[in-house]
Structure 1
Amino acid sequence: MSTSLKQINKLKKNPRRKEQVNEPKFVERLIKISRVSKVTKGGKKLSFRAIVVLGDENGQVGVGVAKADDVVNAFKKAKTNGKKNLIRIPLTKALSIPHNVIGKFGACNIIMRPSIEGSGVIAGGAVRTVLEVAGVKNVIAKQLGSDNLLNNARAAIDALENLTTKSQVSKKRDIILK
C-alpha cells in the first residue's frame, strides 16, 4: 500500500509533466516610445514612456501606457497595463465592423465605416495599429482633430466599444417594449 502512494507522489512531482495553461496569445505592437525628462533640484531625470497596443487578432484589443527608467521596463509595464484594459469587439463574417461608428477622446475624433471584403484596413497612424491588432481586416477609418498618437488610439478604442450587434439591439428593444 505504501509503494502505491509513493508512485502517486512521483507522478505529481514529475518535472517533465507541464501544466497546460490556456492563456491566449497576444500580439503586441509598439506605437511610440518617447524620452521624458523631469527637472528636479539635482538636475534632469530621464525616463521613457511607452504606448503599446495588444490584442489577439480575434476581437480583443487594449491600449497600455507606462513610464520607466529604461525602455524594456516601460514596454513590459505598458503591456501589463494594456492587458488590464482589454475590450471585446463584435466582428462580421467579412472581418469588418457591423456598422458606422464615431469615437471621441480629448480633441481626437475617429470615424469608422465597414467596407467590402478585400479592401483591407484603410486608416492611418495609431488607429491602423489598433484595428489590425483587434483582427479587423476590412474597414475605412478617418482621424479628425488632434495628431496625438495616444489620444487617437484611445479614440479608436472608444469607437470600437460603441459597436453593437443585431442581437444586442433586439434585446434592448425587447426590454424597452415590455
Structure 2
Amino acid sequence: MAREPREGGRGGREREQGDDLVDKLVTINRVAKVVKGGRRFAFAALVVVGDQKGRVGYGAGKAREVPEAIRKATERAKRTMIRVPMKEGRTLHHDTFGHYGAGKVVVRAAEAGTGIIAGGPMRAVFESLGVNDVVAKSLGTRNPHNMIKATFAALEKASSPRHVASRRGKKAAELFGKREQGQTEAEVTNG
C-alpha cells in the first residue's frame, strides 16, 4: 500500500483567514475504521493557526473528506489560541522547555537575523506565531501531534519581564538591576 505524501514542513499549505489569521496545515493522515463489511477510510488533519503577532493555536479534525477535516481542525485551532509574549516582536524573552508524552522540546531565544531553526511541526507554530528568530530542538518523538503539544507547553511557560515583575510586586527595571538616576554601583549592590 503506497503512502500518500504528507503536506507540511517548509512548503506546507498556508491560507489567509478573514481575521488576519494564517493557518498552516501540518499533516494529513488517512485513518481506517474496521467494520463488518471492510474498512471505512477517513482523514485526520492537524492545523496551526496564528495572527503572526503573538497569538497561536492548534487543532485536529477528522472527517471522511480532506477539506472537511481541515475545516474542523481550523475551527478547533481558533478556539485554542494562546497569547505568547515576544521580545521586540521577533523572539521569545527567555529559553524554555516543554514536554507532552514522549515528546520533549527545547526552545531558545535567538539573536536578530538567526531565523527560525526548528524542525517540521515546530516551524509551523513559530511561523504562525510571528517569531522571526528562534532555535528549537525536539527530542524523544517525531509524532507531529506530540511535538506541537510539547511546543505549546513550552510557549505557555514563556513570560515577559513585566509579568514576572508584577508577580513579585516589583518594577521591571528592578529585575534587571538598573540603576536609578544618581545611584552609584556600590549603592545598588548594598541595597
- TM-score, with length taken from structure 2: 0.78
Higher Cα Rg: structure 1 or 2?
A: 1
1:24 aligns with 2:7: no
State the percentage of identical aligned residues.
39
| Aligned position for 1:79 | 74
User: Quick one: distance in 2 between partners of 1:32 and 1:94?
Assistant: 28
Give the match for residue 58 of structure 1. 53
**Shift in Å, 1:42:** 2.1
1:164 CA displacement? 0.6
Q: 82, 89, 92: which one pairs with 2:84?
A: 89
Aligned residue identity for 1:37:
A
CA contact (8 A) 2:53 2:89 kept: no
1:83 maps to amino acid: K
Partner of 2:107 in structure 1? 112
2:136 is aligned to: 141
State how many pairs are aligned.
Answer: 153
Tell me, yes or no, if the aligned pair for 1:54 and 1:83 is still in contact at 8 Å: yes
TM-score (norm 1): 0.83
The one-letter code matched in structure 1 to 2:125 is V
RMSD, aligned CA: 1.2
- The residue number in structure 1 matching 2:30 is 35
Deviations 1:45-74 (Å, cap 9, x if unpaired)? 110000000100010101110100000000
Q: Which amino acid aligns with 2:59?
A: G
Q: Compute the displacement of 1:94 (Å).
A: 5.4
Q: Residue type of the partner of 1:135?
A: G
Q: Is the 8 A contact 1:94 1:116 kept in 2?
A: no
Ranges of 4+ aligned residues in structure 1 off by more than 4 Å: none
Q: 2:147 aligns with which of 141, 145, 152?
A: 152
Amino acid at match of 2:118: A
Q: Distance in 1 between matches of 2:169 and 2:53?
A: 29
